Each structure stands twice: as structure tokens, then as C-alpha cells.
Amino acid sequence: MTPELLVQQLINALSLGSIYALLALGLAMVFSVLGMLNFAFGELVTITGYVMFWLVAAQTSFVTAAVAGVIFATLASVLIEQIAFRPLRRAPFVTLLFSSFAVAVIIQNLIRQLVSPRPKGVPVPGIFDEVWRFGTFQIGVLPMITLGVGLAALGLLAAFLQRTSWGLAIRAAALDFEVARLMGIRANRVISLAFAISGLLAGVAGVLWVARRGTVTPDMGFVPILKAFIAVVIGGLGNLWGAVLGGFVLAFLEVTLDVVLPIEFRPYTEAFALIAVVVILYFRPQGLIAAQTAERV
């Protein structure tokens, strides 16, 4: 492989990885605080996509549409928790799982009924398709923007979690929810906050996702939640920074396989990536960074 190609693929992997990392962190955020897998997480990406589709079609600028998409995803996430999960707070794990699954199905069908079951195009700014040239190196603008936005979002979130008292509340609740309550951290508030952050991350990832695909479909949330789930499992369930790491690992696996696999195997890249994940989990069943839930005596 030429150095040019290597750099290109590296940037591809990093940019894809930053999307996966955002998604995985969003899913892990709710999982670690509430111990529930939110199947409706992918639909937050979908909501972002359709808000953007609608606003761009109404001649709004792409950036405004993107910001609105992120805001809607954040609000939707908080609202879904209050309507579909909060009344079931004491219910068993499986009940919450079904409830989130129901939310996902309802949102998908609402979009099918109210908008269209068929794909809709979201025109992206021309600059996204351009390529920057540095001597013999060619670097796509979109992967660079994706990487920049992704890393900026992760950095801001890390600063929020590490440096503010709300961030401390989230991290404490993620480690031991009951003891967090004993510290005076209000359960409903920290859960709302976790869902808000989760929605925000889904929104930012959603904007980047839409910018790559240029279309929206009612079931477009499926692939993002699948990737998020795999990344979270790789990183170690219930561990925030593990999820970020898992996102990048998954992207590197996919991009590497795409490069090294013979052309006729390319359609099965994702299947091979899954096999690689199984191998990782065989050697590290708790994920790369094990969640620490066990108590020491």
C-alpha cells in the first residue's frame, strides 16, 4: 500500500470511529446509569435525520438544520424517558427492554405514515464532496469534518464529565446508582441528564451519518444502534470510556478488513468484523475495559 493510501484509510477509520464512538457513548451513557439497553436509541438518529430533511427541504442552511436536528434528538431522548421509561422505573429489566423496543417501532411507523416509507434525499453542501490535496496526498473534506466534529464533541463531553458537578453526578450514578442517591444526587435529575446527553450524542452522530449517506429512511436507525451496541460490548458494557475505545476499534476493524479482504469478500466485511469481535470477546469476555461493579471487601 502506498503511504498516500495508508493516510487516507487512516483518516477514514478515524472519522468512522468518531461516529461509532459518539453512538457507543450515547448508548453506554444510559446503560451505565440505568442498567437498561435503550433500543429506541437508533431512532434518535432517525429523528435527527428527518428534522434535517424537513428543514433543508424548507431552504434552511445545512448547519442550521444540523443544529436543530441535534436539539430535537436531545429533547426527544428526554421526553421518551419521561413517557416510556419513568413510569416503569421499578419494573424488571425485560419490561424496559420491550418498552424501548415499542418506542422504536412507533417512531418508525409514525415516519412511514406521516412522511414516507421510501428514502428521502438530504442535499449536503458541495464542499463535503471536495478533496484537499497536499502534494500527492488527497484527503476528503467530509472525513476531516467528521473527525473534527466528532473529536470536539467527545472532548467537550469529557470536560463536562470530568470538571463539573453534574458530570461528577453522572459518573457517580454510573458506578453505583444507589450510593449516588445517598450522596444527595436526585435520581430523576441524573437520569434526565443521562438521556439528554445520550440524545445529544445521537444527534451529533446523526448529523455526521446523514452527511455521509445523503438520504434518510424510516429504518435508518438500525445500523447506528447495531454499531453502537457492538462497540459498547467490545469496550466493556457499562463503561463510558470503554465505549469510546470500542467505537474506534470497530471502525479500524471494518476499514482494515475493507482494505485487506479480496474484492469478492467485500460485501461480507461486516460479518468478518463481527467474527473479529467474537475473537476479542473470547480473550476478554468483560470487554477491553472491564466495568467495575463488584465490591471489594
Q: Which residues contribute to the site for another protein (CB under 8 A)?
A: 165, 168-169, 171-172, 175-176, 178-187, 292, 295-297
C-alpha cell at 175: 458506578
Least CB distance to another protein at residue 271 (A): 35
Alpha helices in 35-61 (DSSP H): 41-57
Least CB distance to another protein at residue 32 (A): 11
280 closest CA partner among 246, 241, 240: 246
Looking at the Cβ atoms of 199 and 242, the one nearer to another protein is: 242
Looking at the Cβ atoms of 217 and 239, the one nearer to another protein is: 239
Which residues are within 8 A (CB) of 9 and not within 5 positions of it... i.e. 6 or more apart? 1, 255, 256, 259
Looking at the Cβ atoms of 13 and 190, the one nearer to another protein is: 190
Looking at the Cβ atoms of 112 and 181, the one nearer to another protein is: 181
User: What does the alpha-carbon distance between residue 115 and residue 120 come to, in Å, rounded to a whole number?
Assistant: 9
Q: Evaluate whether 196 touches 30 at the Cβ level (below 8 Å).
A: no
Least CB distance to another protein at residue 33 (A): 13
Place of cell 445523503: 214
CA–CA–CA angle 77, 81, 87 (5° rounding): 170
User: What does the alpha-carbon distance between residue 262 and residue 279 come to, in Å, rounded to a whole number?
Assistant: 21
Looking at the Cβ atoms of 171 and 213, the one nearer to another protein is: 171
Least CB distance to another protein at residue 183 (A): 5
Least CB distance to another protein at residue 236 (A): 12
